[in-house]
Amino acid sequence: MSGLIPNETSHRDSGREPPGQRLLHLPIVNNSGVVMPRPADFRSMQDGQSRAITYVRISLLDRCNYRCTYCMPADGVALVDKADILRFEEIELVVRALMAVGVRKVRLTGGEPTIRKDLITLVERLAKLGLDDLSLSTNAERLAELAQPLKDAGLHRLNVSLDTLDPARFAQVTRRGHLDRVLSGLDAARAVGFRHTKLNAVAMRGFNDDEVGALCRYAFDRDFIPRFIELMPMAEGALFYPGSFLPAAELRSLLQREFGPLLADDEIPGRRGIPGVGPARYVGVMYQGQPRRVGLISAITEPFCDTCNRVRLSATGELHACLAYDDAIDLRRIVRSSEPQLADREARLAALIDAAQSGLLRKRSGHVFSATGCGGPTKHMVSIGG
Ligand code: SAM
Ligand code: SF4
């Protein structure tokens, strides 16, 4: 079970990390709170396609205070039993296991993570683990009151969903949201010192294609990073309308019409210094004499599967190696197992590491999403975790 834990021979003894390897820098604590010997040289994890997996999105719950038209049916989805949702200590254990296989970035998501009770306590716990990046995706309905506590708890960054700046459209797409609350939340996030906040808009023809420029300007004026996401056919395309689909190529044309010629990704100064810049592609636009970046998350027309670095943990502890498929590894079974050989915390951690590693090795080379609405999982986005 713990064959993945190398012997404690040590590069640590020589004070050097071996080239191409990352040492594990987190304590492993047993049931009595005793710090166990630390494996000296876990390698960073690669999947079956040699992609390094460094990033996990963790869904804290499958509930949401909104009902965005592309994410949830108007009457919601079948909810999981609350008892099946991972508790904070269980999430922390899974994060420790994933860190042992190379994960360095965690994004908390949902459903809507800000309606998870005691969210701040969880952020405090995860912030102590020494991750390179700890971020949260939110619809920002509750951000005005939570921005300061989240900052104080050690959260590094925020991603905020904002599809439109028009109050009537906002009410229409979210079915329950209040644009004024979201905009106040974004102001609060800035005021308490969050930087590099990403503003994510799902791009929809006939809905917000006339707001691409306005959303960018709103973001640039506040030092947020605007990003446009191609609609994805989750739930077997149940909420996907091919006529609304707006491909990245068209988004680039709209940006060009608004801001003039685009800059290529590698021409944008400072782009590499932005934390959490993953497979999303960025283009540059000139705004008020300065180059600004705009993200395009174009899973369908310009897939980035060959550079995918992420996995998802559902609220019930299923590790999804790819958003586009239903299959997943059940980590909650290990976390809650009453098997005597897993009674010790270190043995449970080793079992989780084994399971995570075998799951990652089975990560598929790519998705089969299509712009016709086919090729998605049966689950809704809100159930897997976006
Ligand atoms: N409630 C939070 C929020 O909205 O930011 C976090 C969870 S939400 C599922 C995460 C992201 O998934 C949001 O940016 C949302 O716009 C995106 N999303 C949901 N359904 C989608 C779909 N069918 N296609 C593309 N993006 C989608
Ligand atoms: Fe809720 Fe986010 Fe889905 Fe909208 S996109 S329904 S805010 S989980």
Please list, in sequence order, all residues whose beta carbon lies within 8 angstroms of the beta carbon of residue 82, skipping any fewer than 6 positions away. none
pLDDT along the chain (386 residues), means of 10: 30 34 42 41 60 90 95 89 97 94 94 97 98 98 98 98 98 97 98 97 97 98 96 78 91 98 82 58 94 91 79 93 78 93 90 86 71 71 73
Q: How far is the CA of 53 from the centre of ligand 1 (A)?
A: 21
Structure tokens at 360: 């990652």
The confidence score (pLDDT) of residue 216 equals 98
The confidence score (pLDDT) of residue 268 equals 78
Instruction: Say if CB 302 and CB 53 are below 8 A apart.
Output: no
pLDDT at residue 41 in the model: 37
Helix extents (H) in the chain: 11-14, 88-100, 119-127, 143-153, 167-174, 179-191, 212-221, 248-259, 332-335, 345-361, 381-384
189 to 58, 147, 286: CA distances (angstroms): 21, 5, 25
CATH fold for the domain made of 45-308+365-383: TIM Barrel (3.20.20)
Ligand 1 binding pocket includes 202 (Cβ within 6 Å): yes
pLDDT score at 29: 47
Residue 279 pLDDT: 60
In this structure, which ligand is nearest to the CA of 200?
1
For the stretch 129-171, pLDDT in tens is 999 999 999 999 999 999 999 999 999 999 999 999 999 999 9
Ligand nearest the Cα of residue 231 is 1
Assess whether the C-beta atom of 234 lies below 6 angstroms from ligand 1: yes
Contact between 363 and 51 (Cβ < 8 Å)? yes
The domain limits of the chain are: 45-308+365-383
Please report the pLDDT score of residue 276 as a whole number: 53
Q: 173-207 as b/e, with b when 16 or more CB fall inside 10 Å?
A: bbeebebebbbbbbebbeeeebebbbbbbbbbeeb
